[in-house]
Structure 1
């Protein structure tokens, strides 16, 4: 144990204080010889920290463990406060993480919720760095911490200033980014306070500020700097992705968004064409389009329906975006196909759209359309399935491997590792990111697909099985399947044939040779689809062949 003010450890008395070595002398320990201690025996925790008596020139060695900023109550209080903040942030992160799978009351994020988790993780990283390297403050930590804080303040301003971002993030996301910014600035303040405390204690107990650093301290400073550089890079990526989201928010939807499920979130619905009535005054059916794995607008399905209307095959159609896709917001978790149908039913009622309906769906959209049909048996006058998913394949949608991939991809989606390069180097537009080829990269889309995955074999499977039992047997039905999918998967072929039996009124069953899963992407596929759609829409034309005039639907600016 080092004795008081540099006295010898063997118990001998120190030299007379008339000839002390001044601080900073050539002595290796930068210490002065000490006079006889006024305290008998070995120094204790209290006496070794007492300031030298008046006129005394003895100091502790800079390497003495007693020379520490923890001697100051303010430094100790900051450390305890940092521990408390870290625990609070971790508990907040756990709550946000759980909300991805099961949303607590009033905590649903109308956006993906992944940004909230990212801000919480960034805050935890900042606080852990501050804790681990608490007693070894450095200038790089202060500078890099300030950069993180400034970037997070920019994030906060963006979220508060852009109404669409503010709505999607809600109070949860806003609170997360504000807390992240405050904690980053708090860590900078803590670092500066500890540096001040370290200097104060060194001057008080050794007579000078220590400028040396041991190898361990240099390694600690290097490690802390590297971690802070990573945190800066993460914050820059978060900011760039948020800027893209702000840019995408300026793209107005072609229809309207309607609040559903107790105003918890909004879904987008668009209708094209005017209502028409026949000679008896009965409303002519409206085609209700249900997209497949991709948003209806971006997959080309809506383009096909648009051309069918231009060609006079149908009179009017409506389409919508399921929660989390394109212009619609994310729903609370868990969320099943039946819950989506409740949402579109409510939105259509608010919009004043009451049918009658002819349901057109593709891919997994067939599951949703069939549930809709079973819940609106009096309003549905026909079902058109385009290579749709059979309920026996829901295990593929709900596979654990797929779910883990969606979750992991969603967790890193706020970094924009694919969206930012696509925007910078490939010139991806707002349309591409909202509902086009790049829409699958968004956190909203990934969360929607994860929700779909989590309940595919439970809630959704139960809902579609009930729908099959409820479905009226006299509902007109048309099934068109992909020849490519038939050749690739014999089980798919068997299940497509089984779909022709969901009602007893099958009008047509076609397998389009050479057509992919999205049958409308080939000319032959479009011709078959439009002919069958015309027959379903107007049975009197069932023997006519429709020649399609394919045009691109004009896009919004």
Structure 2
């Protein structure tokens, strides 16, 4: 064997570890933090810097630190698994009123950071320290935001707060770990080679380059998370019209608003008010679809009063626990109306998939619902088809939800397109919200089973004499014979069909055309006075 000085070892010489064992037989004490695994008194010279024995792992404290990191990784991975499951089924005590994607993203960042720290444990570098400090500062800012903004703090609950606090702790811990390992590496190099090694091998340079790139990506992700959280804190300052009510045992809140003064029966009992129109939105927030048009009908005097609400996860309403079916949403609406002191009578108006929810609500309030108005409604057969219950759609929604905390589309809209708080909560950018994506994912998961069963039961329960109006999209009817047949079938959910209109050239959102608005308002006026 060639030593550091370039000569062969004679037969009388022994390796340092052999000398150590000989010394142990002569009374040397065992290795500890002071003596280390290769005590200097057992060596006749310095080792080559490339010798595997020159390692920070010689120190018990460094090995204990690595074991601690492995323990933190195990804890983080278990927590990550629970959060992944909670996206689909809410475990006991782990339900949050937010989307669930927020805490999952921070825990994923934590697991990734611990893996990087362990992978490059023995190769500390200044770039990794600098990136680590930047990441810790960003996560500290996020922790301050979630604790300082009441609405975000309530939405994310203890699960979201714990996830961010844990991510912040791990980021600080990793910086300390890098510096401590660097110190241990320096100590062992000075003890075993006589000086601190300043050069790196090609393998080490590749490792430093890789960890620098990976840490830069993680910092970019943290910047996006911080920017999105800042945007959420600004959106939280937009107050909703109406009020928010706790439902389902005060587990979450839903938003409900009513417009117009209720005028009940006169004192002599001879007068009576027109029924209140109750709106159910379609695929997006009702404030961006039906509500503006219905408000215009209210101003025109076609209706006297109307109420609208946001389904769980939409606009100002919290997300509900998973699984959450259409029937559960109808029960939440019933509870909110009761808490608001609203008793009807009602004419339920809905569009698209909202017709599933309104039909279930109507079947559970047979004597309060005096009319059903469906605008290009979704048939229950589609709950298990390609539109709602499709597994591919569910995976796409899940993938969109996972990246939603990065806010790529929301940040771009706010910076380059001038999107406002209203756009992000109830407007054209509402579909980008993690809460709405979670609500649609919940809808997708139970559509072929729970929701389909509930709406079929509702069809059997519905009173035959309830007045019914159906207005269909001419575009959708011409596009699909199946859709046309489904519209015809929905016109028979009661025996009292007042009208079934198909508006030519009108899209799925029929009220977006002038002719569509005219037909809807005319039929709505007839229905509330029928």
Alignment pair present for 1:104 and 2:91: yes
Q: Please state whether the residue corresponding to 2:303 is helix, strand or coil.
A: coil
Give the structure 2 partner of residue 363 of structure 1: 352
Q: Please state whether the residue corresponding to 1:330 is helix, strand or coil.
A: coil
What is the alpha-carbon distance in structure 2 between the residues aligned to residue 139 and residue 197 of structure 1?
Answer: 15
Give the structure 1 partner of residue 208 of structure 2: 221
Tell me if the contact between 2:274 and 2:529 (Cα under 8 Å) persists in the aligned partners: no
Give the structure 2 partner of residue 285 of structure 1: 275
Give the structure 1 partner of residue 437 of structure 2: 446
Larger Rg: 1
Of 446-455 and 105-114, the range deviating more from structure 2: 105-114
Q: 1:349 to 1:203 in 2, by over 3 A?
A: same
Q: 1:72 to 1:7 in 2, by over 3 A?
A: farther
Q: 1:308: how far off?
A: 1.1
**Structure-1-length-normalised TM-score:** 0.89
Give the structure 2 partner of residue 484 of structure 1: 475
Alignment pair present for 1:305 and 2:294: yes
Alignment pair present for 1:11 and 2:11: yes
Write the deviation string for residues 134-181 of structure 1: whole angstroms up to 9, x where unpaired.
Answer: 000011111101111100011111111111110111100000000001
Q: 1:127 to 1:277 in 2, by over 3 A?
A: same
Q: 1:198 to 1:513 in 2, by over 3 A?
A: same
Q: 1:477 to 1:61 in 2, by over 3 A?
A: same
Tell me if the contact between 1:288 and 1:317 (Cα under 8 Å) persists in the aligned partners: yes
Q: 1:221: how far off?
A: 0.6
* 1:228-377 map, 5 Å: 228-278=215-265, 280-299=270-289, 301-377=290-366
Of 280-289 and 441-450, the range deviating more from structure 2: 280-289
Tell me if the contact between 1:82 and 1:127 (Cα under 8 Å) persists in the aligned partners: yes
* 1:50-199 map, 5 Å: 50-53=38-41, 58-199=45-186
Q: 1:64: how far off?
A: 1.7
Write the deviation string for residues 52-89 of structure 1: whole angstroms up to 9, x where unpaired.
Answer: 339x8722222221111111111111100000101110
Q: 1:38: how far off?
A: 8.8
Q: 1:5 to 1:321 in 2, by over 3 A?
A: farther
Give the structure 2 partner of residue 212 of structure 1: 199
Q: 1:12: how far off?
A: 4.5
- 5+ residue gaps, structure 2, are none
What is the alpha-carbon distance in structure 2 between the residues aligned to residue 281 and residue 266 of structure 1?
Answer: 36
What is the alpha-carbon distance in structure 2 between the residues aligned to residue 409 and residue 427 of structure 1?
Answer: 22
Q: 1:6: how far off?
A: 9.6
What is the alpha-carbon distance in structure 2 between the residues aligned to residue 40 and residue 525 of structure 1?
Answer: 97
Q: Please state whether the residue corresponding to 1:293 is helix, strand or coil.
A: coil
What is the alpha-carbon distance in structure 2 between the residues aligned to residue 86 and residue 494 of structure 1?
Answer: 56
What is the alpha-carbon distance in structure 2 between the residues aligned to residue 370 and residue 199 of structure 1?
Answer: 73
Tell me if the contact between 2:125 and 2:208 (Cα under 8 Å) persists in the aligned partners: yes
- How many residue pairs get aligned? The number is 518
What is the alpha-carbon distance in structure 1 between the residues aligned to residue 20 and residue 295 of structure 2?
Answer: 98
Write the deviation string for residues 85-130 of structure 1: whole angstroms up to 9, x where unpaired.
Answer: 0111011011000000000112112111111010001001110111
What is the alpha-carbon distance in structure 1 between the residues aligned to residue 207 and residue 84 of structure 2?
Answer: 31
Q: CA RMSD in A?
A: 2.4
Alignment pair present for 1:459 and 2:450: yes
What is the alpha-carbon distance in structure 2 between the residues aligned to residue 375 and residue 74 of structure 1?
Answer: 66
Q: Please state whether the residue corresponding to 2:154 is helix, strand or coil.
A: helix
Q: 1:282: how far off?
A: 3.7
Of 4-13 and 398-407, the range deviating more from structure 2: 4-13
Write the deviation string for residues 236-257 of structure 1: whole angstroms up to 9, x where unpaired.
Answer: 0001111111111111001111
Tell me if the contact between 1:5 and 1:59 (Cα under 8 Å) persists in the aligned partners: no
* 1:13-32 map, 5 Å: 13=13
Tell me if the contact between 2:56 and 2:122 (Cα under 8 Å) persists in the aligned partners: yes
What is the alpha-carbon distance in structure 1 between the residues aligned to residue 284 and residue 433 of structure 2?
Answer: 12
What is the alpha-carbon distance in structure 1 between the residues aligned to residue 321 and residue 244 of structure 2?
Answer: 17
Of 135-144 and 39-48, the range deviating more from structure 2: 39-48
Q: 1:278: how far off?
A: 4.8
Tell me if the contact between 1:67 and 1:202 (Cα under 8 Å) persists in the aligned partners: yes
What is the alpha-carbon distance in structure 2 between the residues aligned to residue 178 and residue 529 of structure 1?
Answer: 52
What is the alpha-carbon distance in structure 1 between the residues aligned to residue 198 and residue 107 of structure 2?
Answer: 36
Q: Please state whether the residue corresponding to 1:333 is helix, strand or coil.
A: coil
Q: Please state whether the residue corresponding to 1:289 is helix, strand or coil.
A: strand
Q: Please state whether the residue corresponding to 1:397 is helix, strand or coil.
A: coil
Q: 1:203: how far off?
A: 1.1
Give the structure 1 partner of residue 484 of structure 2: 493
Q: 1:121 to 1:12 in 2, by over 3 A?
A: same
**Structure-2-length-normalised TM-score:** 0.94
What is the alpha-carbon distance in structure 2 between the residues aligned to residue 305 and residue 2 of structure 1?
Answer: 90
Tell me if the contact between 2:4 and 2:48 (Cα under 8 Å) persists in the aligned partners: no
Give the structure 2 partner of residue 517 of structure 1: 508
- Specify which of 396, 402, 413 is matched with residue 422 of structure 1: 413
What is the alpha-carbon distance in structure 2 between the residues aligned to residue 159 and residue 248 of structure 1?
Answer: 13
Give the structure 2 partner of residue 25 of structure 1: none
Q: 1:188 to 1:477 in 2, by over 3 A?
A: same
Q: 1:40 to 1:446 in 2, by over 3 A?
A: closer
What is the alpha-carbon distance in structure 2 between the residues aligned to residue 75 and residue 433 of structure 1?
Answer: 49
